[in-house]
Structure 1
Amino acid sequence: MSEPSPKPRVLITGSAGFIGFHLTRELLSRGHQVHGFDGMTDYYEVSLKERRNAMLLQDPGYSFTQGMLEDADLVMQVAREFQPQVIIHLAAQAGVRYSLENPRAYIDSNVVGTFNVMEAARELAVDHLMMASTSSVYGANEEMPFRETDKVDTQLTIYAATKKANEMMGHTYAHLWNLPTTMFRFFTVYGPWGRPDMALFKFVKAILNEQPLDIYNNGEMYRDFTYVTDLVKGIADLMAAIPERPADRIVPEGDSLSPVAPWRVVNIGNSDKVKLLDFVDAIEEATGKTAIRNYMEMQKGDVEATWADATLLQTLTGYRPETNVRDGIAQFVAWYRDYYRV
């Protein structure tokens, strides 16, 4: 019997971030060698990133470089030395609301940084380039659930605009250099080790500290909350779903595959929209405390609802996220209480 082929080596940008940390753990558990690249920026508490990275470094299959995506020479050097077969690009300046305050950070990281990653992938001719996008690219679209084949031309923030730019940059490189590329659109990811700027983290902190929490659009908001371990399983499973340029330019119905490039975009969401007030109710249940609710108007750049059609993910991988939001919130609250000793 022949020896099984080795697992592809994976370079992950943003490995010390919320999603990158969970994805790295998932891939290490599957036997991959992973090299992480992260700027360890102070957008939120660096100690949380350091703790995540320290946990990853306990695994001999993980190595790490600290650096900024804007440093083209360093990105290329790391890629040449590690020689990955797959690059998963998660690092970005995140946060919809922060993009209203500091839009230049999004151009530097999300556009220039992504270009540097794509250049490394092109030079190494990797088997699969995988890059994170966001449900925010659907912008002002009203027809739901959102499908990958929907037109997405009405972004409402510079964050969303940079992610749409990443999708188009990825398509161009896939076409020009025959570089197999998968973009994935995330839908409101939550779970243990999450980002402190995200709603769940802020709501739990406020409730436990008996402080008011801001609820925008008077609670008339809906989100497709996706538990982080479901999300990273979807990404890991998509590694093997390498897009191929269709020889006849014919694309199967429902597939977002480009007719002129080995490029595809895939939603990764829970396929269930949850009302924000029900989300708060679930946090109250998990914490055993009542929220002090501060109802506010819709914030600039926000959207009333997101809701993913994840049929394509299931078609490509046989997998579909399924964690119930109340179960996921309970697991986050348990982690939060343990981490912060509250």
Structure 2
Amino acid sequence: MGLPSTNIVFRQQASTAIQRGNKGIAVLILEEATVPEVNPVIMSGNEDIPKTLTDENKEQISLAFIGYTNPPKKVIAYIVPKPVAGEGGTIPPVDYSEAQHYLETILWDYIAVPEIEDSAVINFASWIKSLRDTKKIKVKAVLPNCPGDHEGIINYCNESNKQQDKEYTAKQYCSRIAGLLAGTPLNSSATYAPLSELVDCDHLTKEEADEAIDAGKLILINDGKKVKIGRAVNSLVTLPDGKGKSYKKIKVIDVMDQEYRDIKETIEDSYTGKVDNDYDHKILLINAIRGYFSELEMQGLLNRGSSDVSMNIVAQKQYLKDENYKTPDGRGLDDMTEQEIKEANTDEKVFMSGSQKIIDVMEDIEFDIEI
């Protein structure tokens, strides 16, 4: 009698998706000569920043906490030892392995590494790609001048980020962008998000800005009154099979990642290892996820009527074929009805498929006026 309650859990997950997406978690990997006893440092606001950190690292954390519509829910600073010169004056590269190992075990959304060496950027991007594609850990990195060609890599390319009395490099300003993206609600986009603390940035013509955005670069523009993000795109340029142009949008990927987390968490908490894998329970799970999608439609994250979930007959047939499945009366796959295929025993495997349309935001507006 307990299983149907998971329908409620799915619906609750969906009904709070926007609120949870409003305030994500930003991670910074920072360098200090002395690593604090408590590491990482987990902060909910500027008041939590340790006084023992360098002024530069305090500033990086403060930049992340500016956020956008909201500040990030948390900023997690993982402190790594600042390399010191060895014999001959050679400074070894920073070792991120311990930080990366830890970060694979906790929940977060965006990461920045403000002192990352140019030579380390590609390897760091590869780690993020591996987390997303292989380990199914849906996180994103804001990296300086990194043509990652991947939805998990935000390629921040503004070299000039000018405040009234200070100028940041692209590297130094990635913390600000990571916090901004973490604080962007799921039902809006960071496109044209203003950076109110900046007075100027790189000056690009419209053609240059368009070319940069098409190349998967996140850039800033100065519209004459304020500095703002040009278009909230990730570094994805090459579209492989199964990925449309919407995969280039940071907002769309954020919604996808939230869905993945919600569904994975609820299935693991309420189904995996707890429920018989028979036809009736598969249908209960399918209907529960349908209800989750319906709630997302009501929340304005999915187009109404666009989402559906069903049993993946093609995958199920292939599995039964590989297992040389026979009905109790000895019939093979070719002699089974579709309903018999749906109800067949698939051991511990569950095969589902679905469809949906994530709602984007207004960005390209045409307005013709007749006079």
Common topology (TM > 0.5)? no
TM-score (norm 2): 0.31
